[in-house]
């Protein structure tokens, strides 16, 4: 029986109205047998205590429950009828999955491969393997692209030396470089402070045999791995969020907008992590270069939404920009941003705003995982940047525009060739308050709805002092019975839904906000609508790429 026949059989009992009929009860038992057999459950847990996601209409796979609890819920609430492929219960498993804390077998070889992929993209995978097998081959001979004595050659030589050198004379497990990389991995995964990392290194230094070559502190260790790439740029900002001291304004001593003196002793610093080298590394790595074409080469287009590439937005974008879509290696990105308290305490008056990019070329079991999410910006702010977030987004937007229009020459390890990599930002991901900051449309007040905009129906409650958004019956079918009921507000609803606003209409609405100034001291203009600014994303006018 193929997959479609299995799903049809399931629909027969899942859509059955009488949940106490033998057909439905037998289907529930079939689900239990499948779920509790296929999921990888710990063997030291008693059978009656094992839990799996509950697919009833109330839980919708968001809560883990026991077999008896799920049985009762499915009879009482019914099963989610669209859940015909039991992906949360072991039916769909990714073909490859690595633990984020596991270097895996051959980790020593991975160190050498990492160095070659960082410095010698023109070397084929077979060439790298040959180099790894020939331990007597000199470092200088393994420099195909850099002349001896250059800065890149010296960096390559230092990394290769640390990769060959053991942590202490009798150590067979770790080289000096792999040992430090593993420690940094533990530091990042477990949230270890720099001070604790230094204390751990000093403990290792005293505990390991005499002659152990271990850095004395965090800064020495970090200097070792910095040459592997992925540095970040520190950009000072005006303390009132008016501007960045960046590019042509890098040497200014005063803010050109509010006139505040530049704070040299304790500046507000934006951390910017350049996007281009991080995307290039995904193609330069032999382990991820193939996966960057998964959305085109290996995705099954069966009409089921399992990946953003199955969405209408993705397909519409491909139709509009055929040149971009013609090369499956061109990168599709999503942007997520929100503020959080880095210190954990709810009373601490401080928040930091990370801007994270998601690479949608990768398969679903990779693209949403932490190792493949790209941190792009860390915005420092005690109470959040609000509309002034556009000031901090400037470096990222400039690089995105460059990747869209010009692209970047990139080495593809899977095909052992270079190509021009382009990138496009498809959408943003955020909650409603952050949506207001990024889009420029205020999500407060009488016209808070970004869908209805100026046609938002709302009233202010006299006792509560807050807005209540009414007339949602406009979105119901024209013959729906609730449209003719006066139980809601004493009126019959005959209007249709508000007209959708096109992108060109929005650009027209915000045209007079193009030259507005940012900063906490600036007063927002009074308007008839809820636009507070022309978002920096609207300045990325999409034309014909490359």
Q: What pLDDT is stored for residue 348 in this prediction?
A: 61
Domain boundaries, the chain: 3-89, 107-226, 246-435
- Residue 99 CA, chain-centre distance (Å), reads 18
Closest C-alpha to 407, from 283, 250, 238: 283
Q: How far is CA 408 from CA 80, 160, 422, in A?
A: 46, 27, 7
For the chain, the straight-line distance linking the first and the last C-alpha, in angstroms and rounded, comes to 48
CA contacts within 13 A on the Cβ side of 201:
25
Q: What pLDDT is stored for residue 422 in this prediction?
A: 96
Q: What is the pTM of this model?
A: 0.70
Is there a contact between 27 and 19 (Cβ–Cβ < 8 Å)?
no
CA angle 458, 459, 462 (to 5 degrees): 155
From CA 3, how far away is CA 98, in angstroms rounded?
27
SS3 content of the chain, % helix, strand, coil (to 5): 40, 15, 45
Q: What pLDDT is stored for residue 227 in this prediction?
A: 75
Q: What pLDDT is stored for residue 185 in this prediction?
A: 84
pLDDT mean values, one per 10 residues, the chain (546 residues) = 72 86 90 76 57 86 86 90 79 48 45 67 38 38 46 74 78 80 85 90 85 85 78 91 94 93 90 92 86 93 90 94 94 93 67 92 91 91 86 95 92 87 94 92 90 87 82 91 89 89 88 89 83 87 42
- Each residue's pLDDT tens digit, 164-177: 787 777 777 778 88
Which pairs from 346-349 meet CB under 8 Å and 24+ separation?
349/382, 349/383
Is there a contact between 218 and 151 (Cβ–Cβ < 8 Å)?
no
Q: Which helix (H) or strand (E) holds 314?
A: helix 312-320
Q: Is the dihedral of CA 475, 480, 486, 492 positive or negative?
A: positive
Is there a contact between 512 and 536 (Cβ–Cβ < 8 Å)?
no
From CA 434, how far away is CA 431, in angstroms rounded?
5
Q: What pLDDT is stored for residue 117 in this prediction?
A: 66
Token code pair at residue 534: 């022309």
Token code pair at residue 216: 């004395």
Token code pair at residue 378: 């860390």
């Amino acid at each position: 029986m193929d997959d479609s026949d299995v799903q049809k059989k399931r629909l027969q009992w899942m859509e059955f109205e009488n949940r106490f009929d033998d057909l439905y009860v037998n289907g529930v038992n079939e689900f239990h047998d499948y779920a509790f057999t296929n999921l990888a459950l710990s063997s030291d847990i008693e059978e009656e205590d094992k839990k799996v996601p509950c697919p009833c209409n109330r839980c919708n796979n968001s809560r883990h429950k026991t077999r008896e609890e799920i049985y009762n819920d499915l009879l009482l609430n019914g099963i989610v009828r669209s859940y015909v492929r039991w992906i949360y219960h072991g039916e769909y498993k990714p073909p490859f999955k690595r633990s984020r804390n596991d270097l895996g077998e051959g980790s020593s070889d991975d160190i050498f491969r990492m160095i070659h992929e960082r410095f010698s993209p023109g070397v084929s995978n077979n060439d790298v393997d040959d180099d790894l097998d020939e331990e007597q081959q000199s470092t200088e001979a393994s420099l195909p692209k850099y002349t001896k004595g250059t800065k890149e050659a010296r960096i390559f030589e230092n990394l290769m030396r640390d990769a060959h050198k053991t942590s202490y004379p009798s150590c067979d497990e770790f080289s000096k470089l792999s040992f430090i990389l593993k420690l940094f991995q533990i530091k990042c995964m477990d949230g270890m402070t720099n001070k604790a990392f230094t204390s751990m290194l000093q403990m290792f230094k005293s505990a390991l045999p005499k002659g152990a070559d271990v850095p004395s502190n965090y800064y020495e260790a970090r200097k070792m791995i910095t040459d592997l790439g992925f540095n970040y740029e520190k950009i000072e900002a005006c303390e009132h969020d008016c501007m960045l001291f960046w590019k042509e304004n890098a040497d200014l001593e005063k803010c050109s907008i509010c006139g505040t003196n530049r704070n040299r002793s304790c500046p507000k610093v934006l951390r910017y992590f350049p996007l281009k080298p991080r995307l290039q590394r995904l193609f330069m790595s032999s382990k991820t270069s193939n996966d960057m074409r998964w959305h085109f080469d290996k995705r099954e287009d069966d009409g089921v939404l399992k990946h953003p590439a199955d969405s209408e937005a993705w397909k519409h974008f491909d139709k509009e920009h055929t040149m971009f879509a013609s090369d499956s290696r061109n990168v599709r990105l999503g942007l997520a941003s929100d503020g959080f308290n880095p210190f954990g305490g709810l009373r601490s008056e401080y928040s930091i705003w990370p801007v994270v990019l998601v690479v949608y070329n990768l398969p679903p079991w990779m693209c949403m995982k932490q190792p493949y999410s790209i941190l792009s910006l860390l915005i420092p702010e005690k109470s959040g940047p609000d509309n002034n977030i556009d000031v901090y987004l400037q470096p990222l937007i400039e690089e995105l525009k460059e990747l869209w229009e010009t692209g970047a020459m990139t080495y593809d390890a899977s095909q052992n060739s270079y190509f021009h990599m382009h990138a496009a930002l498809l959408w943003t991901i955020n909650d409603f308050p952050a949506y207001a900051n990024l889009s420029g449309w205020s999500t407060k007040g009488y016209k808070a709805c970004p869908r209805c905009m100026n046609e938002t129906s709302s009233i202010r409650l006299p006792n509560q002092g807050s807005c209540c958004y009414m007339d949602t019956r406009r979105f119901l079918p024209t013959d729906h019975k609730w449209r003719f009921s006066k139980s809601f507000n004493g009126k019959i609803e005959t209007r249709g839904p508000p007209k959708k606003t096109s992108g060109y209409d929005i650009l027209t609405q915000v045209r007079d906000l193009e030259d507005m100034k940012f900063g906490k001291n600036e007063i927002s203009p009074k308007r008839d609508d809820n636009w507070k600014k022309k978002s920096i994303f609207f300045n990325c006018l999409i034309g014909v790429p490359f």
